[in-house]
A and B are shown apart, each in its own frame.
Chain A
C-alpha cells in the first residue's frame, strides 16, 4: 500500500495549476509532432532540453512525459487518414485504419485508436505504479537468443499475413532486410554496402524508408491514376462515434494489445514495433470477421494502437528503476535526467520520490487529457479527407520532405527519399505489400545483432538457441506458425 500513499503525494505534485499547464502543453505538442511524419517525440524532447534547463525538474518531466504519450496518440492520426505513418509504431495502424477511412469510417477508426490508447496507457501506468521494480528485474534476464527468436516469430507471421501471396510478402521482407544491412557493422566496425559514401555509414534512417515507401510512394501512385480512376469521393460516416458493434469488437483487442505491448516495452531492445505486428496477426487469427481484414477491420486498429501505447508505459519501467533506456525517446529522457544531475536507477525512488511519483501521477492525468483532446477532434481530423486529392497529396509531400530533411539536415537524405518513393510506387503498381519491407528494415539489424551477441556469449556454439526454455518455446511457436497452416491446407485438399 506504500505505492498508493506515494502516488497520492504524486498527484498533489502533479495537480498544481502550473504543472497541469505543463502537462497540457506537453500532450498538445506531443500530438502535433506525432502527426508530423519524421518529427518524433525523441527529437522534440532533445530540442527542448536546453530550453527547459531553467524549469524545476518535476515540471520539465511532466511536460516530457506528455510529449511522449502524446506522440504515441498522434502517430495514429496520419496513419489512418493518409496512409502515412507518423511514427514507426503506427505502421500497422495504417493497414486497416486507412482502409476503414476509405470506407468512410475514419472517425470510428480514430476513436477506437484514441480510446484503445487511453485504455492501454492507463493499464500500463497502473502496472508501472505497482510492479515496476519486479518487472524490471525479470526483463533484463531475457537472453539475446530469446529476443532473436521473438523477431523470427514476427518475421514469419508477418510475411505470411500480408499481400496477395506469401512469396510477395517474403520478397518485400527480404528487400527490407537488405536495406537494413547497409552501414557500419556493429560487431566488427566494418562498413557494409556503403558504396564509399560516408552518409551511409550509419545506415539508412528507417524514417526515410518509411516515408519514402508509404507517403511518397502513395502520392506517386495516386498521381499516376488520378485521370484513370474516377475520383472516389470519400463519404464520411454521419455518425462520428463508435457504434455498439464497434465497441463490442474493440474491447478485447484493446486488452490483448495491452498485454502484448507492455512487456515488450519493458525489455531492453524490445521496442514498440514488434508488439504491434504481433497484435495485428493475433487479432486477424482470433477475429470472427477474418474476411474483413485487409478491407478495414476495426480489430486491426484497436489491437496495435493499444499495443503501442502500452509499450510506451512499459519503456518507463526499466528507465526509472534501472536507468536503462529501451527506446530512442527513453534515451533522450535519460539525458534529461542527467541534465538535472539526477541518475535514474534503484535509488531514484528513494532520493527523488516526489519527482518520480509526480511524473507517474502526471501520466494518468496526461492520458485523460489526451483522450479529451483527441476524441472530439476525431471527426474534425476526418474532414481532412474531404480536401481534393491534388492539394492533399501535395501537402503530404511537403510535410514528408520537411520531416526527412529535419532528421540530419542533409540533402543526401532527400535523394534517398525520392529513390524510396519511386520504389514504393513500383511496389504498389506491381502489387507487392510495403509493410514487410519496413519491418525488415526496422527489425533486421536488431535480429542480426541479437543473433551474433548470443553466439558471442556461447563462444560460437549454436546450442545456445536450444538451451534456454524460453527460446525453445518461441522457436517451436515459429515452427508451428510455418508448418501448421501448410498441414491444414494439405489436409483440406485431401478431403476435398
Chain B
C-alpha cells in the first residue's frame, strides 16, 4: 500500500467514525430462508430501517436457505465471536431443530430480541355448519377424522391444531392434519370445501374473511386484537396462546459489550417511527422483547415446542 492510499483509507476511517459512535456499527443479517419468505422480508425491513435511521451502516442481507433455517443456524454457530452478524429466526426454527434433529440448537447461540409476530386463525368455509369454535370442537370429538388443513408438518399451523386438540379433549395422535406446502394451497382446500377447517396466519386468510368467503372461528392471541374482528380462542374456553413470532439471534462467543451493542441497536430500531410504520403497512404485530427477557422466553418456547411436537407424534 503506498502512502497516498493509506492516507485516504485513514481519512475515510476518521470521517465515518466522527459523527456518532453508533454509526460505526456495520452489520450482516442472515435470512436463513429463500428470498421472499417471512424471514427474508423481516431481514430486509430491518436493513432498510437501520440504514435510513442511521442505527447501523451498512447493513447487508444474505440468504442461507434450507431445512427450516437449521442450515443457517449451523453456519451462525460456526461464526463464533463475530459481533457484526445477526440472524433472523422464529418459532418455525425452534420446531425445525426438533423435527430435523439438528446438531446445533438455540441454546448455543446468543439471543438478541424478539421483534414481530402473527397470530394464527382457525377458519371454516362460509357454508360450513360450524358457527363457533365450540361447534367445531364438539363435532371433532364425535369424529376424530375431521380434516384440518395447514402448512408443513411440525410447523406453527400443525402445532396450533395440536394445542387446540388438547384444549378440546381430542386425542392428538388421532387427529387428521392435512399439510400443504404453501399457504395458498391451504386456502384453496378450505375454499373448495375439501377439508373441515383450515389454519394459517391471519394475514393469509384476511382478504377472504373480510369478503365473507371464510368464517374465522378463533384467533390464537391472548387478548382481542385491534382491527381483527375475530374472537380469541381463550374467550371461547380453549386455553391456547400461540404466536408465530420472529426474532434475532447472534453467534455464540460474543463479548458482553458486543451483545449490549446489538441489543441497543435493536431497541433503537424498535423505538423508531420508521419501524412502527413498517409494522403497520406489513400488518405485523409488535411483539418486541429484548435482553434477558428474550433469553428466558426462548428457553421456555423450546420446551413447549418439544412437548407439542411429541404430542402430535413428530418427535420421539
Contacts and interface: CB of A to CB of B under 8 A. Distances in A.
Nearest to B158: A189
Contacts of A191: 100
Contacts of B71: 198-199
A46 B35 contact: yes
Contacts of B70: 198, 201
Contacts of A49: 35-36, 41, 44
A121 interface: no
Contacts of A141: 192-193
A43 B207 contact: no
Contacts of A340: 281
Report, as a range, how many residues of chain A touch the other chain.
35 or more
Interface string A303-324: 0000000000000001000111
Contacts of B64: 408-409
A115 B206 CA distance: 40
Given A189-B152, A323-B208, A140 B188 contact: yes
Q: Label chain B's interface by main secondary structure.
A: mixed
A339 interface: yes
B287 to A, nearest CB: 18
Contacts of B314: 188-189
Contacts of A330: 184
Contacts of B152: 184, 186, 189
Given A186-B152, A187-B179, A338 B282 contact: yes
B36 A332 contact: yes
B277 to A, nearest CB: 10
Contact of B35 (A43, A189, A201): A43
Contacts of B176: 456, 459
Contacts of A334: 184
Contact of B34 (A46, A325, A453): A46
Nearest to A449: B181
Contacts of A325: 182, 184
Interface in B166-214: 176, 178-182, 184-185, 187-188, 191-195, 203-204, 206-208, 210-211, 213
Given A324-B191, A347-B207, 11 more contacts: A189-B99, A201-B70, A324-B184, A325-B184, A331-B184, A338-B203, A343-B207, A344-B207, A345-B208, A408-B63, A449-B181
Interface of A: 42-43, 45-47, 49-50, 53, 139-144, 184-189, 191, 198-199, 201-202, 268-269, 318, 322-326, 330-332, 334-335, 338-341, 343-348, 408-410, 449, 453, 456-457, 459
21 contacts: A46-B40, A49-B44, A50-B44, A140-B192, A142-B192, A184-B67, A184-B100, A189-B154, A191-B100, A198-B66, A202-B67, A268-B184, A326-B184, A338-B41, A338-B283, A339-B281, A345-B208, A346-B211, A449-B181, A456-B178, A457-B178
